[in-house]
Amino acid sequence: MEWLNEYEKLVIGMDTPKVVIDNAVCPTATLVQVDSARKRGVLLEAVQVLADLDLSINKAYISSDGRWFMDVFHVTDRLGRKLTDDSVITYIQQSLGTWNGPSQPASLEGLTVLELTGTDRTGLISEVFAVLADMSCSVVDARAWSHRGRLACLVYLRDEDVAAAGVERIEARLAPLLRGDSEASGGAVAAVPAGSIAHADRRLHQLMFASRDHEHAFPTPWVSVESWAERGYSVVTVQCPDRPKLLYDVVCTLTDMDYLVFHGTIDTNAGQARQEFYIRHADGSPISSEAEMQRVSQCLQDAIERRSFEGVRLELCTPDRPGLLSDVTRTFRENGLLVAQAEVSTKGDMASNVFYVTGTTAGQAVQQNAIEAVREKVGVDCLVVEEHRPRLYQKARGQDDRDDRNGAGIGLLYLGNLVMRNLYNLGLIKSCS
């Protein structure tokens, strides 16, 4: 029936997110506003798109009570400038303007992913790549995180290489390396289609959480969870130095722990970030026990720390060849360097690899002679070395002064005060539920 078709079109139109990108409202940032019917996980999708573009979220206002949600993000590029690249703006609009989130890259077709977890130690990454090279499996892409003695790694291989080597044989050779000397270490390896992994960083968080990288640690005061019983919320507050993908890591963790964010504010000033979220369980109930509050606090702290470490960043750009990763990481091992994170990719005949390395002992500085030995081995011209600390986004000139005059350093107030006032003044809501 014609009227039914028109009704279906109306429903689709109401459910499709409205994305507005405005460079005129704020003098220092681009506003990205997403407004639509509420859908579980849409906040994470929005933050993921912005994080993947390496954009800084300087401020944000989140509200999703009832059947509708609204998110407003104040974003800049990594140099603190507004977004002016039309291709970036179009990508944001297209990615956030659907319910499906970012589409899977075509480059993932024909790939298998090895999911690896285990007890980390010096040389483990090198041994993994050496086994794969010995089995004639070319690494197309890889991501690895190390945190509190645990390793999580995703290795992308071509399907034909996996078929030739045999999944069972690959798993059988890698599993003992990940278990180490202890059968109880929880080492594991699994092969899955690349298309089944929605987002590499999110999957690494999940693998780290599942392998218990949070055990035997204690939360620090800058992550707190409190009850706001009068309104039926639990209030999560995060205060720490700002860095790339900080908001993504927090929202990803809350989502994977099955909490819904109903309201929130994000504010950064002078290199510091303050995030405040009003959450409930998926069934609408707040956190009910002190033990659960401590667990949420601990898990958020771990998620933040996984990308926050000091060491040396080594960027290698060189023609790809069989065994390259095995040779490079073996050189690290031979010179006493521990790979804390790795980002490996190949484009055509070129390999672009970034390694974040530390000393083998926690807190141990990387020795300069070790770096020089690595450069001599892999090639001085193709290896870029720089000291690494959690990178802070830059702000546009004069932005700190304006923030100070506006009182941003005072901190954010509770939901009924600052958040709803800002949303109301922007004309984005009409009442406070």
pLDDT digit string (tens) for 327-379? 999 999 998 888 999 999 998 889 999 999 988 765 577 888 888 888 888 88
The pLDDT tens digits of the residues spanning 57-96 come to 999 999 987 678 889 999 999 889 999 999 999 999 998 8
Q: Determine which of 93-107, 160-174, 320-334, 415-429 has the lowest per-residue pLDDT on average.
A: 415-429
- Do 133 and 325 meet the contact criterion of CB atoms below 8 Å apart? yes
Considering only the top CATH level, what class is 106-213+309-388? alpha beta
- Do 139 and 149 meet the contact criterion of CB atoms below 8 Å apart? no
Neighbour tally for 302: CB within 10 Å: 23
SS3 label, residue 98: coil
Q: How far is CA 216 from the centre of its chain?
A: 23
Q: How far is CA 110 from the centre of its chain?
A: 25
Positive or negative: CA dihedral 194, 199, 200, 202: negative
* Residue 122 banded pLDDT, cuts 50, 70, 90: confident
The pLDDT tens digits of the residues spanning 133-154 come to 999 999 999 999 998 889 999 9
Domain ranges of the chain: 2-103+217-307+396-425, 106-213+309-388
The pLDDT tens digits of the residues spanning 93-104 come to 998 877 555 555
Residues 6+ apart with CB under 8 A from 323: 133
CA-angle at 44, arms to 267 and 191, nearest 5° = 135
pLDDT > 80? residue 2: no
Cα atoms in the Cβ-side hemisphere of radius 13 Å centred on 159: 9
Strand partners, 240: 273
Burial class of residue 433, CB neighbours in 10 A (0-12, 13-18, 19+): exposed
The pLDDT tens digits of the residues spanning 23-53 come to 999 999 999 999 887 778 889 999 999 999 9
- Do 112 and 160 meet the contact criterion of CB atoms below 8 Å apart? no
Neighbour tally for 48: CB within 10 Å: 23
The pLDDT tens digits of the residues spanning 387-419 come to 766 554 444 444 444 444 343 333 333 444 444
Q: Extract the tokens encoding 219.
A: 């939360």
Q: Extract the tokens encoding 100.
A: 């499906």
Sequence length of the chain is: 433
